[in-house]
Structure 1
């Protein structure tokens, strides 16, 4: 009996050690995750578009000034980079310098559009705590060529087609824990105006929870982050928990299509406070935007 008990203890110890080692590895590495987005609104485009989605860096560093990240992004040869927020850490005693050093290098690669996450939004709204930190950060990045979209829309002409990019800025109250939040198409139209109907509409929306509302508003592609992949991912079930302490979120780190709309949710590039990742590698998301006619020709 004692031998069996010792064997069980050894097995538990080994499993624990392997799990801890894997968690440490995942906190210091990242991967590139590729998805395809196919839409009739892209018919007639002269080439498939390569779009990089970045989110939730939280001041993490991969190589000097994030050289490893930059090198991987360059290998993708993106036409567009979309930043879905939380590149810094919105805490009073933490500098945004690491995030700024990385993000300000991105316009050397291609156009960059940035939508605020809850960390940027917190700093923006609570000037009595953070002073002008967010505005200094934003000013520096805008000087580098970053396009901030704070409930704003821009149109980009790429490969013979117009792509519309909108950045949703949700009030910080929408990120409070243990509360049920409502958004709706009407509220989105108040903040953003009506969604595009003719051209391909991208919506940068840090919080993926409201995908149904984003669809109803008119988004063809939503790019989000915020949930850090659910922190721990369980095969067959997805992410375990959200920052708002909700178990098994519907969208936490994947590409989902519903009718003609897609949502791509980044698992993020960093972490904060709860520094845990398990079966949930940090990631750069590479989206290939393709016309529907190409899909039909491939059949």
Structure 2
């Protein structure tokens, strides 16, 4: 009897652990310092949301919205897979934008699921109507009252192109930043972390990506187990990575797609604070 009671308790504990790890959201803070960050952008706070996949966290996404508001961001980046091609529910996902549109300017790029659902124009139009800056191979230059500038660029997911992924991304970056001065600090929204070498080669200062879902099952001390585009034991699943003078921030994402369960891999809101070197 005691043996079965112990087994039941263990099963209940594991079940509760998995449930909490998939239905609560953490907030991960990073700082990025660079001599290229203009002085008036010092302490510029970026919230990154990625891979919502039509998930719902409380009434009107209160579990996400409350934590974003607490951060008081200067800008919000949405880095793709806002919807899910397997259970497409744009109306539900748009509620998140409705709740956040007054918090800070929102910038968005597509992920592979937006392309796969074959309704990209509808998605982009709906987001634009809510005031979102939809970036399709283009960059916006942000200016402060003191005249300092930085560039926020975003590219279409390469699934929309007939080119190989690396060639498509290279062409998209070239188009997006063609009118941005080389010396300007460049932020890029691009869904795919596995293409970090391309971002670095194109001298992007900081890229914001998602897509990998943290490797879905994270092995303590080792990292993610499996990721689309990278396969088993992927290299780029979470955190900040550096290559030459380029950095990439990867969100573990908020929702799930085909695989509905995460392990040791809490959904996250990423917060990046830019710091200018004195």
Q: Distance in 1 between matches of 2:158 and 2:169?
A: 16
Paired position in structure 2 for 1:162: 149
* 1:57 lines up with 2:57 in the alignment: no
Structure 2 stretches lacking a partner, 5+ long: none
Contact 1:196-1:219 at 8 Å conserved across structures: no
Q: What does residue 209 of structure 2 align with?
A: 224
Residues 189 and 16 of structure 1, relative CA distance in 2, 3 Å threshold: same
Single out whichever of 13-22 and 257-266 deviates more from structure 2.
13-22
Partners of 1:257 and 1:152 lie apart in 2 by 24
Greater than 6 Å deviation, 4+ residue runs: 6-14
Aligned to 1:172: 159
Q: Which of 103, 108, 121 is the matching residue for 2:102?
A: 108
Contact 2:156 2:190 in 1 (8 A): yes
* Structure 2 residue matching 1:67: 3-state secondary structure: helix
Q: Distance in 1 between matches of 2:227 and 2:151?
A: 29
How much does 1:46 deviate? 5.5
2:18 maps to which residue?
23
Choose which of 39, 57, 68 in structure 2 pairs with 1:73: 68
Say whether the 8 Å CA contact 1:104–1:141 is kept in structure 2: no
TM-score (norm 2): 0.88
Q: Which residue of 2 aligns with 1:260?
A: 245
Distance 1:193 1:181 in 2: 18
Matched position secondary structure for 2:153: strand
Residues 276, 78 of structure 1: alpha-carbon distance in 2 compared, 3 angstrom cutoff:
same
Deviation of residue 48 (structure 1)? Answer: 1.0
Structure 1 contact 185–216 (Cα < 8 Å) conserved: no
Structure-1 residue corresponding to 2:258: 273
Aligned length in residues: 275
Q: Partner residue of 2:190?
A: 205
CA drift of 1:243 comes to 2.5
Where structure 1 has 5 or more consecutive residues not aligned to the other structure, the ranges are: 1-5, 125-132, 175-179, 294-299
Which stretch shifts more, 147-156 or 21-30?
21-30
Q: How far off is 1:173 after superposition?
A: 6.8
How big is the shift at 1:193? 4.7
- For normalisation by structure 1, the TM-score amounts to 0.83
Does 2:143 correspond to 1:149?
no
| Residues 30/196 of structure 1: CA separation in 2 closer, same or farther (3 Å cut) | farther
Q: Quick check: which has more Rg, 1 or 2?
A: 1
Is 2:153–2:177's contact at 8 Å kept on the other side of the alignment? Answer: no
Between the aligned partners of 2:92 and 2:116, the Cα distance in structure 1 is 18
